[in-house]
Amino acid sequence: MLSDCRLLRTDITAAPAAVFPSAQATPANWRRLDYLAQGNPRQRSAHALLSAGCWDALGRLCQDLALVSTVAIGLDRPGSDLDILCQHPDPARLAALLREQGWTASDKGHQVWLLEQTLTGPDQARWPVELYVTQAPLETLNGWRHLSLMAALLGHFGHDFHQAVLRLRLGAGFKGEAAICRLLGLCGDPYVALLTLEGRDLAALHWQARSLSDSPTPAGTPAPLCPDPFKSTHPTS
């Protein structure tokens, strides 16, 4: 196993485990793909597709490239996209070029384009691929920031937290950000609420594992009152 990656496995977990770059001691590097080859079956399938030529072809066209899909941290579900951030000085020009190669292109405004295509890997698995093309540095984008926070939280809380998030993903249809915010009691728009954890000390963050028999709450159900996930352990608080 790569020394700078996190393996989500316990002694009682026999199935192949999710692997992802560590996001605790140092910032996670979502520009790399090597860790996927040592992960669970879905991660290995994604690696096979991207490393068969797609990643290198995009790398020759773009200034910078990063995979920010939930498959990168083992939180994907059937049908999940491979979300790729692409930095390019002229997003419209790249979109026009890729449209000629079979990609569906959508102008999102503010010099941002979304490109979509379903690709088939060497293992015959079909993956929807989405390219988010922008002029902005990739580390400043919410996709990068969200994934880095989710990876840090999974690394901090470990296997049980990972499984709890997956239960909400698979059983109740939650997005990854929404599932994590539900577990941590973060209220409001999950895409905004998750970013409030940036720069915070995760060691002060509290999460209580629920019984495996607890059924997941449907995604449309209103959230309960949200406790402070950074509740102090000081006796006077």
Q: Does domain 5-139 have CATH number 3.90.1720?
A: no
Which stretches of the chain score pLDDT less than 50? Answer: 1, 10-16, 212-225, 227-237
pLDDT at 202: 84
By residue count, the chain amounts to 237
How far apart (Å, rounded) are the C-alpha atoms in residues 200 and 196?
A: 8
138: left (phi over 0), alpha (psi -120 to 50) or beta: alpha
pLDDT at 226: 52
How far apart (Å, rounded) are the C-alpha atoms in residues 99 and 126?
A: 19
Strand residue runs (E) in the chain: 5-8, 18-21, 64-67, 82-87, 104-109, 112-120, 126-134
- Quick: pLDDT tens for 119-177: 999 999 999 999 999 999 999 999 999 999 999 999 889 889 999 999 999 999 999 99
Looking at the chain, the domain(s) classified CATH 3.30.460 span 5-139
| 70: CB partners within 8 A, 6+ apart | 76, 77, 80, 147, 169, 176
